[in-house]
């Protein structure tokens, strides 16, 4: 699949409305040519997640990945520092998406180490492989699979890493037990996952701003697959312990995350990625609805704009455990 142009570069002299419609049309085109979900994602339980990450969400994550890697950089840096990957180690990166953290981890394990990124999304994995090839690495690998039931080489990995890629398992208990099998004795787990929506203005403010134009949400399990599935620390500790992980710990961490250079750019980002984007996808949003949501978000963010752009606070758990 050809690499889609970043949404930011879709700007046209015709102004914000044209830019938004152009971006919408570009993403709609990409979505229409995306492949069917990978076979492992067609298991009935995983079908919804497989479809979401292979079709509905893939195009925007691919188009926005460079921007997202910069946005998440403060959290990535802290998670990697906590994980402390060492030269020669074998690392698994779960839900690695377009490969930003696979590349970041590679710098630490060196040419004697190995990073295996696993992701359920075929198009995002293809993008990750392109980036790895462009960077010239030969010791990084991407597998398209459901990490919850993939047959990893048993007992080989030193570090199980993830940046926002482990909250989408329909059966997290089984998935965490499966991931545990991949680890060698003395192995480490280090993830960064979102704390609740209420503690995350970075997601919450744009979502609340758009509520007046959104249809009501479908009833949902608060612990179901989604960005906040691991927001409850007691649940995460229980799941990890039950799957055989020792000494699980969650450390709260906060950061001001950029949303965009101005309210329009910020509205663009949060209507294509995150909980508001998911609500728009679920509502089968037309360009008009998408644009209405953007306008609401822009209005809400205007007062927060600074000369340096727009940033809102985000809060995550740095999760660690051992084998
Ligand atoms: C929020 S994105 C994060 C992507 C990437 N880690 C990053 O930070 O840029 C979640 C990722 O998890 C992947 N994912 C969801 N369910 C998965 C599963 N069961 N197995 C492997 N990957 C999965 C998605 O395809 C997506 O790439």
Element containing residue 20 per DSSP (H, E): helix 16-33
Is 312 near ligand 1, meaning CB less than 6 Å away? no
Check residue 36 and report its DSSP letter: P
Asked if 11 and 26 touch (Cβ cutoff 8 Å), the reply is no
Distance CA 214, CA 233 (A): 30
Q: Is the dihedral of CA 41, 42, 46, 47 positive or negative?
A: positive
Is 169 near ligand 1, meaning CB less than 6 Å away? yes
pLDDT attached to residue 43? 58
Tokens 């298991």 correspond to what residue?
43
pLDDT attached to residue 8? 35
Instruction: For the domain covering 16-322, report its CATH number.
Output: 3.40.50.150
pLDDT attached to residue 219? 87
> What region, left, alpha or beta, does residue 97 occupy, with left being phi > 0 and alpha being psi -120 to 50 degrees?
left
Q: Nearest to residue 146, comparing CAs of 177, 123, 126, 118?
A: 118
Element containing residue 157 per DSSP (H, E): strand 157-163
Cα of 50 from ligand 1 centre, angstroms: 10
Cα of 23 from ligand 1 centre, angstroms: 23
Q: Nearest to residue 164, comparing CAs of 89, 243, 245, 71?
A: 71
Distance CA 277, CA 207 (A): 9
Instruction: Write out residues in the chain with pLDDT < 50, as ranges.
Output: 1-22, 24-26, 28-42
Is 193 near ligand 1, meaning CB less than 6 Å away? no
Give the position, in ligand 1's atom list, of the atom nearest the Cα of 175.
Answer: 19
Domain ranges of the chain: 16-322
Is 167 near ligand 1, meaning CB less than 6 Å away? no
Which of 67, 71, 98, 168 for a ligand 1 pocket mutation test, highest count of atoms within 8 Å of Cβ?
Answer: 168
Q: Whose CA is nearest to atom 16 of ligand 1?
A: 168
Cα of 260 from ligand 1 centre, angstroms: 23
pLDDT tens profile 186-241: 999 999 999 999 999 999 999 999 999 999 998 888 889 999 999 999 999 999 99
Asked if 32 and 123 touch (Cβ cutoff 8 Å), the reply is no
């Amino acid at each position: 699949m050809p690499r889609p142009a970043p949404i930011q570069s879709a700007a046209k002299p015709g102004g914000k409305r044209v830019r938004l419609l152009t971006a919408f049309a570009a993403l709609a085109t990409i979505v229409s040519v995306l492949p069917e979900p990978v076979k492992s994602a067609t298991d009935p339980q995983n079908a919804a997640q497989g479809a979401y990450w292979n079709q509905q969400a893939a195009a925007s994550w691919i188009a926005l990945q460079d921007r997202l890697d910069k946005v998440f950089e403060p959290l990535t840096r802290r998670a990697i520092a906590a994980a402390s990957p060492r030269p020669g180690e074998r690392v698994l990166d779960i839900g690695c998406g377009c490969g930003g953290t696979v590349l970041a981890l590679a710098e630490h394990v060196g040419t004697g180490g190995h990073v295996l990124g696993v992701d359920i999304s075929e198009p995002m994995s293809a993008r990750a492989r392109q980036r790895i090839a462009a960077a010239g690495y030969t010791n990084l690998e991407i597998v398209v699979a459901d990490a919850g039931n993939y047959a990893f080489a048993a007992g080989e990995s030193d570090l199980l890493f993830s940046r926002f890629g482990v909250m989408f398992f329909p059966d997290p208990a089984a998935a965490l037990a499966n991931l545990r099998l991949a680890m060698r004795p003395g192995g480490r787990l280090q993830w960064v996952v979102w704390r609740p929506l209420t503690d995350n203005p970075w997601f919450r403010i744009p979502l609340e701003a758009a509520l007046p134009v959104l249809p009501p949400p479908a009833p949902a399990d608060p612990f179901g697959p989604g960005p906040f599935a691991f927001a409850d620390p007691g649940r995460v500790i229980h799941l990890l312990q039950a799957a055989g992980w020792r000494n699980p710990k969650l450390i709260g961490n906060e950061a001001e995350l950029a949303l965009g250079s101005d309210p329009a750019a910020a509205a663009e980002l949060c209507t294509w990625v995150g909980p508001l984007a998911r609500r728009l996808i679920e509502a089968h949003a037309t360009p008009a609805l998408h644009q209405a949501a953007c306008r609401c978000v822009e209005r809400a963010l205007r007062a927060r704009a600074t000369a340096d752009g727009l940033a809102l606070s985000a809060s995550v758990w740095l999760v660690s455990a051992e084998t």
